[in-house]
Structure 1
Amino acid sequence: MANITIKEVSEKNIPIILGLLYELGRPKPQNDSDVDSFRKLVKKYIIDSDKKIHVAMLDDTKIVGMVSMMFLSRLNRDTSEMYIPELVVLEKYHCQGIGKKLVNSCISLAKENHCHRIRLESGNQRKESHQFYKHLGFEQSALSFTMNLD
């Protein structure tokens, strides 16, 4: 396996984070205004104390993956839940243990923050991802329903 370290993201990494999100299938900017807006959203995420982004660094020089996390309070718990909205590793680096390292960084952070659970969602079409999460000890515990408003 390559020399991979997990680090908290910095603002200088925003363009790379946006590229990883596009690889995950998130919307791409249609114009310069969109690019600026997306950068501001990531910057806002970085400075929010209830949110974190970790990156997987190859040889301390290249970002090859990322995970975003949110600490959510629940009405029926005294402890937070960690929610993982995005987890992506560049396709070229799949099956090298990088996703596992990113998830393990989430588990460590969740334990440090006394979270009662970690929750994530994975699109129905992402069968390989489902197997990956199950292999790491996640269980399918719910169905997700959405209503698009745009």
Structure 2
Amino acid sequence: MENVVIRESMAKDIPVILGLLYELGRPRPQKDSEIESFRKLVKQYIDDTDKKILVAEFDGVEIIGMVSIVLLSRLNQTSRELYIPELIVREKFQNQGIGKKLINSCISIAKEKKCHRIRLESGNKRKESHKFYKKLGFEQSGLSFTKNLN
């Protein structure tokens, strides 16, 4: 999609970023006080030099997708890895190459930062996402385990 630009997020994008995260299935604030906490968390993420949020902007006006990035050091590597915690494209804009543009931007950043790999996780039920990542050259390389503490 030619009229989509990938750019780094800014503080003014925070409400839209939060909306995209909710669309992805991330927790919504349960109380008004949590809304401000969520905003602060995204702002800290934007300000952190080892993290980035890239947004896909349609026609210079509407943000229709995003990807978050964390540059991580590993104990067994001399270079960092680029980890992608979240990638979302609004449903009505999916299958139009926007996710691919976001991933390609991540690949460019990883090469620029001399990362040894890009890693991401995808929920077991997201079969279409798995096909998408494989089509872009990603390989399933492990299993993810979680233990909820709440």
For the 8 Å contact 1:2–1:58, the answer to whether it is kept is no
Match of 2:42 in 1: 42
Match of 2:144 in 1: 144
Amino acid at match of 2:43: K
Match of 1:22 in 2: 22
Aligned-residue Cα RMSD (Å) equals 0.6
SS in 1 for 2:122: coil
Cα deviation digits, residues 11-51 of structure 1 (max 9, x gap): 00000000000000000011210100000000000000000
For the 8 Å contact 1:9–1:55, the answer to whether it is kept is yes
Q: How many pairs are equivalent?
A: 150
Which consecutive segments of 4 or more residues in structure 1 shift more than 3 A?
none
Amino acid at match of 2:75: L
Distance 1:112 1:15 in 2: 29
How many percent of aligned residue pairs carry the same amino acid? 69
Match of 1:58 in 2: 58
Correspondence list, 1:29-108, <5 A: 29-108=29-108
Deviation at 1:61? 0.6
Distance 2:138 2:60 in 1: 29
Match of 2:8 in 1: 8
Deviation at 1:6? 0.2
Cα deviation digits, residues 53-82 of structure 1 (max 9, x gap): 000000111000000000000001110000
Match of 2:132 in 1: 132
Q: Structure 2: which 5+ runs fail to align?
A: none
- TM-score, length-normalised on structure 2? 0.99
